[in-house]
């Protein structure tokens, strides 16, 4: 047991994480190129020009719009499968048959 404890303690003491980032990680001082105060670091286009979309933006917006339409129209129109609705229908049917 003591050999296992010595080995594990030695391994933990000498452990150094292996990552592709600088010594302190990505958010450490000096890891950034510089702060320019712009959203996501993008420079705005010259006046009169529109920003060019990235390759992922059109499919993203298309799929997001499709999901909103499917959920907005599909969820309210789904069938009512609650046990209370079934019980009310069943009770009404039995009362109609008894009368």
Round to whole Å and give the CA distance between 83 and 86.
Answer: 5
Round to whole Å and give the CA distance between 3 and 21.
Answer: 34
pLDDT per residue over 34-87, tens digit each?
666 777 778 888 999 998 888 999 999 999 999 999 999 999 999 999 999 999
More confident residue, 15 or 40: 40
pLDDT for res 85 = 95
Round to whole Å and give the CA distance between 30 and 22.
Answer: 9
pLDDT for res 18 = 60
Round to whole Å and give the CA distance between 50 and 53.
Answer: 9
Q: What are phi and psi of 36, to 5 degrees?
A: -110, 0
Q: Which of 18-22, 36-40, 93-97 shows the lowest per-residue confidence on average (mean pLDDT)?
A: 18-22
Sign of the alpha-carbon dihedral angle for 76, 79, 81, 85 = positive
pLDDT for res 30 = 60
């Amino acid at each position: 047991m003591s050999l296992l404890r010595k080995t594990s303690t030695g391994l933990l003491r000498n452990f150094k994480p292996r990552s592709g980032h600088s010594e302190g990680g990505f958010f450490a001082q000096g890891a950034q190129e510089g702060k320019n105060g712009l959203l996501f670091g993008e420079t705005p286009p010259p006046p009169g020009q529109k920003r060019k979309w990235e390759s992922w933006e059109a499919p993203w917006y298309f799929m997001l719009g499709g999901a909103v339409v499917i959920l907005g129209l599909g969820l309210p129109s789904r069938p009512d499968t609650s046990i209370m609705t079934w019980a009310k229908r069943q009770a009404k049917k039995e009362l109609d048959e008894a009368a």
